[in-house]
Amino acid sequence: MKALLQRVLEARVAIAGQTVGAIGPGLLVLLCAERGDSEAQADKLLAKILKLRIFPDAAGKMNRSVQDLDGQGMNGLKGGLLIVSQFTLAADVSGGNRPSFTGAAPPDVGRRLYDYFVAQARAAHAQVQTGQFAADMQIHLVNDGPVTIPLHIDPAL
């Protein structure tokens, strides 16, 4: 399973001009299920995302996780997660200039793992918003830092 994390001051996802999910400070999580992935990879990835220390502490060092955010300087809000499915993270361009997405999980498996990941995130974290699986979405964000981090949990693990 793959994710691309972007530390944001705010982010929202729109479909046909209508906002379907939005957060203030937190993480935009672009999520991709790959062939061979299971709930075990989703659990490991979520645990890593929730504990990843990429937010500044009082001294300005990246020493706090999204779950450590206490709302100081953020209008009292906890850090949010905006989770958006993105199968294109499985792109393989080694064979030419047109990406191949054969490494992505089939749509039914991808949807099941995305829904599972979101449900687990909502059980573990107070503020979770989402996009819509397989929709044509527009993502609006203000990247903070900028901080962008790729994560990959190998199905073999």
pLDDT, tens only, 7-53: 999 999 999 999 999 999 999 999 999 999 999 999 999 999 999 99
Which of 6, 41, 55, 87 is flagged as catalytic?
87
pTM of the predicted structure, to 2 decimals? 0.93
Catalytic residue, from 19, 88, 102, 138: name it: 88
Q: Nearest CA to 66 among 76, 47, 48, 52?
A: 52
Q: Which fold has domain 2-152?
A: D-tyrosyl-trna(Tyr) Deacylase; Chain: A; (3.50.80)
CB 90 within 8 A of CB 113: no
Active site residue 87: yes
User: Is position 129 annotated as part of the catalytic site?
Assistant: no
Catalytic-labelled residue, pool 41, 86, 129, 130: 86
Helix/strand/coil for 107: helix
Residue 101 known to be catalytic: no
Q: Where are the alpha helices (DSSP H) in 17-144?
A: 39-51, 107-124
pLDDT at 114: 98
Using alpha carbons only, what angle is made at residue 119 by residues 115 and 124, rounded to the nearest 5 degrees? 145
The pLDDT tens digits of the residues spanning 111-136 come to 999 999 999 999 999 999 999 999 99
Task: Convert the pLDDT of each residue in 45-96 to its tens digit.
Answer: 999 999 999 999 889 899 999 999 865 544 455 799 999 999 999 999 999 8
Among residues 61, 36, 32, which one has the least CA distance to residue 45? Answer: 32
